[in-house]
Chains A and B, each alone.
Chain A
Amino acid sequence: MSTAVVTAAATPAATLPRAAVRLRAGEDWLTVCDLDRLVPGRGVAALLPDGRQAAVFLDRAGRLHAVDNRDPFTGAAVLSRGLLGSRAGQPFVASPLLKQRFDLVTGVCLDDETVRLTTYEVRAA
């Protein structure tokens, strides 16, 4: 017997109209996915038209955040796989590789202020 592999393409069909997650890429707003694809606290990676990557997060309060997906400390494009947390109400993501934390609003690294991530405007519409 063979185990079936269900890929993302086979996502169950939507029954309700959904909100879409949109990211500002230059002048345009890029639709990256449906809002309900996001689990609060867990990120996804989105590919931008210019080849850059964004890590998109939904926090517990329902706010969306997007920063560059590349971990500046290692060069790997993995920040979307980091853990989200908050400190004094400020959301941050911890890199899954060497655990540096980045403020999701400003992009500033909380463990080394000289390092900053690009942040992207993101909204649900």
Chain B
Amino acid sequence: MPTPTTGSAALSHGTVPTIVLVGHGMVGQRFLEALAERGLTATHRVVVLCEEPRPAYDRVHLTSYFSGTTPDELSMTDLEFIEKHGIELHLGDPAGSVDREARTVTARSGLTVAYDTLVLATGSYPFVPPVPGKDADGCFVYRTIEDLLAIEEWAKARATTGAVVGGGLLGLEAAGALKGLGLDAHIVEFAPRLMPVQVDDGGGAALLRTIEQMGLTVHTGAGTQEVLTGDDGAVTGMKLSNGAELAVDLVIFSAGVRPRDQLARDCGLQVGERGGIAVDEQCRTVGDERVFAIGECALAADGRVYGLVAPGYEMAQTAAAAIASDEAAAFTGADLSTKLKLLGVDVASFGDAHGAAEGCLDVVYSDSRAGLYKKLVVGRDGTLLGGILVGDAEAYGTLRALTGSVPPVSPESLVLPAGAAGGGAQLGPSALPDEAIICSCHNVTKGAIRGAVTDHRCVTVPEVKKCTKAGTGCGSCVKVLGQLVEAELEASGIEVDKGLCGCFAQTREELYEIVLALRVTSYRELLDRHGREEARGGDGCEICKPSVANMLATLAPAIGADAHVLDGEQAALQDTNDHFLANLQKNGSYSVVPRIPGGEIAPEKLIVIGEIARDFGLYTKITGGQRIDMFGARVEQLPRIWARLVDAGFESGHAYGKSLRTVKSCVGQTWCRYGVQDSVRMAIDLELRYRGLRSPHKLKSAVSGCARECAEAQSKDFGVIATANGWNLCVGGNGGATPRHADLLAQDLSDAELVRLIDRFLMFYIRTADRLERTSVWLDRIPGGLDHVRDVVVHDSLGICDELERLMAAHVAHYRDEWAAVLADPEKLERFVSFVNAPETPDPMVAFVPERGQIKPDLPLLQIGTRQMEGTATR
């Protein structure tokens, strides 16, 4: 604990000008720092009169005292700073009067200091309603460390039930603290809802639910009429205006604060009607240019008294600037954003939360059962003006940062919970605050990723991955990671290499154009002629090889390339799954997924799948894509399994390819009493039309027979929903880690119109998308977004629709089943062996153990293998 500096006698107005600060609270301390930053502590004598027995501390986090933060930890004052700048700090000695004529301040101790500049930073005092019994033992306010110490002592010694008068921000904090002290707690709020200043009725209702669930008792619309006391003068209860009586033995008044302007009033300074020392934009008091007022005691030039710390800090800086004769700084008002710190309740309000601006609109999402309430206030032009979040304040940082601008997505989608029908959009990474977690596997924040670029000089995504570990877990964050790294590199002026990989300086889109225009049919040719200088003649890499293979497969009919993905050189380009036309599982076995168009399957075919699975001992499961997956096949078994499937009329389901997966269907008009079109037939038609189409990422689709949407078409890359007049086509939907609701592209289409539009849409996507970019991400990325895509594919604004249709027609005409082709080709079949020197010996690492009547991979076996592996590696 610091000892008070003993002040020297009052200095006459001599050569060294004197600044006297009255009040050493949060704002006072910030003011001292601002003086030091501007060098004013060197040219001035600085005297501080501090009422409290301790120097400035963090009042905002006062309540954390109850969760273990000590008063010393709350301190904001570095005594070295005070000493270094020669500041005379008088603790426990409040200013008693000011003589503006003589320019002196007299403290309670009798110390008188002459000032050239006087700064009042006296803060606020808690308002205590004038009810009988308010001064009884056991009644407290909630403002200082001393208040908290007293509350704690009383609560521990003799209280079991407490009441907080006032259900605002501080009242809730205080009630939470009482609860933390083990007391039953009541909250009495005069207004009809909690936090009346910050939230509206809807928000109040959601908040109420959550607060009550925490075990607090809330009385809204009730005033405190009297504090009842016992014989010993201590609190025994409370009488409310609605007649109710509460038996309580501790009362905290938290009914708002009032500016501490008495000192100013007494010396004739102008104060506002409802209190507050009137100041101009430089924080000078009105009528006396030598006196300033800052923080909660000031009535700012915009006519408001700010009860928050951030505006106070701004005032502190403005006043210091004005004292340094820098009149450019001005305090003209501030934002009243707040986030409740009370444990377990998420409440935030920001900007124009109540929609005071003229002509503004509300977007509200409310689910009082879940205690959720979200409101955004939006201007006519779409500008986000403010909002209220209750129950889920996750988006506070982003939304607050976006206030004053038009958000990149619709306000509706910002308030809907993620994944809700019709919205739940997440904002792009650039809109995220630094503390946002980007990689949840490794808990890496946006700030850490940016730091990897700026501080650790990473210039590529792999470098950032290595440095931060982000993206090395499940991988679902890699896309966002890439966008962030790119944005950060651009911001630091480093030229961003947009090339596909270390081998090609072109983007995927540019390579596609090259392949199509120059009819390049081989990867080697492309690499040697169009690759980066240093990569020509080399082996390429794991990024461009599958990507180019994919393009060659899509364009094969148009450029006259070998059409099969395992033909010649192409066989060496294919990624993991395309390599064996099956999906590699964690133990090195494969899964087999035959196509079941539209999810429709006849009993005979079901039986065949069952027999095959039984005969080969495979694990079977119905997939999320309305078909059947058989797991646990060994490489060398794949041809035999497929021979039987092909025999029974099955084809490859391309579960392994970046290509069309499934077109799900609902049962539709044929059976369903609501159906208005034959959704199953359409789903089958579409699946057969686009099967085998290689694309930048996988493609999924669904067709629903009516607006009830049982096939979930709006979560698909292209989704079709029946209407009374035909079909609605929506595009850009996505499930996965970042779900996106599809956008309506066109309505009431005939069968032919629908197919033509999808042809164009898919080919345009394939042509312009990035590698591994789903339609959802692509749609959000390309300039002009949905409108542009609609212009191109519906209105043919680029004049390329003929070509797009031609390319699709070529694909449809050249389609053949990949697996049937493999079975007919001995050279390809030769590769489906476990070991080149022991073709039929099963890989001993692929072993299974039973589970629920089927098999599962023997994972412990792999772990043993790993350990042996490490042993051999060090040899």
Contact = CB atoms under 8 A, between A and B. Distances in A.
> A and B: partners?
yes
A5 interface: yes
7 contacts: A3-B824, A8-B840, A40-B572, A46-B835, A76-B586, A85-B545, A116-B874
A5 B829 contact: yes
Given A39-B571, A72-B870, A8 B538 contact: no
Interface of B: 462, 466, 502, 524, 534, 537-542, 545-546, 569, 571-573, 575-576, 579-580, 584, 586-588, 639-640, 643, 646-647, 820, 823-824, 826, 829-841, 843-846, 861-866, 869-870, 872-875
A64 interface: no
Interface string A70-81: 101011111001
B836 A33 contact: yes
B539 A75 contact: no
Nearest to A39: B572
- Per CB-CB distance, the 8 closest pairs between chain A and chain B, nearest first, are A75-B862, A41-B572, A85-B541, A94-B542, A86-B539, A96-B576, A44-B836, A42-B572
Contact of A45 (B541, B830, B835): B835
A3 B647 contact: yes
A82 B578 CA distance: 11
Nearest to B639: A5
A7 B588 contact: no
Nearest to B864: A75
A21 to B, nearest CB: 8
B539 A118 contact: no
Contact of B872 (A8, A56, A68, A97): A68
Given A5-B829, A99-B542, A118-B875, A77 B502 contact: no
Contact of A84 (B572, B640, B835, B875): B572
Contacts of A81: 576, 579-580, 584
Interface in A42-88: 42, 44-47, 51-53, 56, 59-60, 68, 70, 72, 74-78, 81-88
B869 A85 contact: no
Contact of A11 (B539, B640, B826): B826
A8 B572 contact: no
A65 to B, nearest CB: 11
A28 interface: no
A8 B830 contact: yes
Contact of B845 (A30, A60, A77, A117): A77
Contacts of A31: 837
A26 to B, nearest CB: 13
B829 A56 contact: no
Contacts of A14: none
B579 A6 contact: no
- Assign chain A's interface to a size class: 35 or more
B135 to A, nearest CB: 69
Contacts of A76: 586-588, 845, 862
A124 B839 CA distance: 20
B834 A3 contact: no
Interface string A11-49: 110000000000000000011110001011110111100
A4 to B, nearest CB: 8
A37 B576 CA distance: 20
A81 B835 CA distance: 11
Contacts of A87: 502, 541
Contacts of A37: 830, 836
Given A6-B829, A68-B872, A96-B579, A85 B542 contact: yes
Interface of A: 1-12, 30-33, 37, 39-42, 44-47, 51-53, 56, 59-60, 68, 70, 72, 74-78, 81-89, 91, 94, 96-97, 99, 101, 107, 111, 115-118
Nearest to B828: A6
Contacts, number: 166
Nearest to B589: A76
A5 to B, nearest CB: 5
Give the most central of B466, B844, B846, B869: most A CB within 10 Å. B869
Contact of A41 (B466, B539, B864, B874): B539
Given A9-B839, A87-B541, A107-B873, A42 B584 contact: no
Contacts of B538: 60, 85-86, 89
Given A5-B643, A8-B833, A86-B541, A47 B572 contact: no
Contacts of A72: 866, 869-870, 873
B588 A77 contact: yes
A87 B647 CA distance: 45
Contacts of A3: 643, 646-647, 820, 823-824
Contacts of B546: 83
A41 B866 CA distance: 26
Contacts of A4: 643, 823
B539 A7 contact: no
Contacts of A116: 873-874
A56 B643 contact: no
Contact of A74 (B579, B586, B870): B586
A75 B466 CA distance: 22
Contacts of B846: 77
A117 B727 CA distance: 56
A111 B471 CA distance: 13
Contact of A53 (B545, B573, B833, B835): B835
A30 B838 CA distance: 13
A12 B826 contact: yes
Contact of B539 (A44, A45, A47, A84): A84
A32 B534 contact: no
Nearest to B466: A111
A118 B572 contact: no
Give the most central of B542, B831, B837: most A CB within 10 Å. B837
Give the most central of B587, B824, B846, B874: most A CB within 10 Å. B587
Contacts of B580: 81
B837 to A, nearest CB: 5
B575 A78 contact: no
B542 A70 contact: no
A101 to B, nearest CB: 7
B838 A47 contact: yes
A70 B545 CA distance: 23
A42 B835 CA distance: 14
Contacts of A94: 541-542
Given A41-B572, A86-B539, A115 B873 contact: yes
Contacts of B575: 83, 96
Contact of B829 (A7, A77, A97): A7
B552 to A, nearest CB: 14
B539 A91 contact: yes
Contacts of B838: 47
Contact of A32 (B573, B646, B836, B862): B836
A33 B830 CA distance: 12
Give the most central of A10, A77, A101, A107: most B CB within 10 Å. A77
A51 B823 CA distance: 30
A97 B862 contact: no
Contacts of B643: 2-5
Contacts of A1: 647
B24 to A, nearest CB: 54
Contacts of A75: 587, 845, 861-866, 869
Given A33-B837, A42-B572, A85 B540 contact: yes
A74 B576 contact: no
A106 to B, nearest CB: 11
A68 B539 contact: no
Nearest to A30: B837
B311 to A, nearest CB: 49
Given A47-B841, A84-B539, A70 B572 contact: no
A22 B580 CA distance: 25
A3 B575 CA distance: 27
Contacts of A86: 538-541
A44 B534 CA distance: 28
B638 to A, nearest CB: 10
Given A5-B823, A83-B575, A117 B873 contact: yes
B830 A11 contact: yes
